[in-house]
């Protein structure tokens, strides 16, 4: 795997939890919709099992909470971001921004 490909994988699939937290800032969502939104909003997809494993981990760490709701005669588990999740996401986005600035930010070489 080339270095660029490794970076793309690291910034997307390996850190899908960041994208999920960003989506949950807008509104609570359930797993199937999260998988669809990932592709539509961010241009990549990952296995559904990865989504659900990530949701479980986020819930266990207190970054999201799950609530059951009936939708069209089916019970769905909706996930919403917690205050701790918002704080963690903010901290992570600041880290990414600070790293971007250290690497040259807007003044970085244009290709």
**pLDDT tens profile 36-91:** 999 999 999 999 999 999 999 999 999 999 999 888 888 999 999 999 999 999 99
What are the sequence ranges of the domains in the chain?
A: 3-107
> What gap in Å lies between CA 106 and CA 54, rounded to an integer?
32
Q: In what order do the strands lie in the sheet with 29-30?
A: 29-30, 74-81, 64-71
What are the pLDDT digits (tens) for 77-89? 999 999 999 999 9
Helices then strands, counting H and E runs in the chain, come out as 5, 3
Domain 3-107 -> CATH class = mainly alpha
- pTM (two decimals): 0.88
Could you give the angle at which helices 48-60 and 16-26 cross, rounded to 10 degrees?
Answer: 70
Backbone conformation region of residue 80, classed left if phi is above 0, alpha if psi is from -120 to 50, else beta: beta
């Amino acid at each position: 795997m080339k270095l660029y490909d490794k970076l793309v994988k690291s910034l997307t699939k390996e850190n899908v939890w960041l994208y999920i937290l960003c989506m949950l800032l807008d509104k609570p969502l359930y797993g199937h919709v999260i998988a669809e939104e990932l592709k539509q909003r961010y241009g990549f997809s990952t296995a559904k099992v990865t989504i659900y494993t990530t949701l479980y981990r986020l819930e266990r760490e207190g970054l999201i909470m799950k609530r059951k709701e009936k939708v069209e005669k089916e019970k769905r588990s909706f996930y919403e971001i917690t205050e701790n999740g918002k704080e963690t996401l903010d901290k992570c986005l600041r880290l990414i921004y600070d790293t971007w600035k250290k690497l040259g930010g807007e003044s970085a070489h244009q290709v």
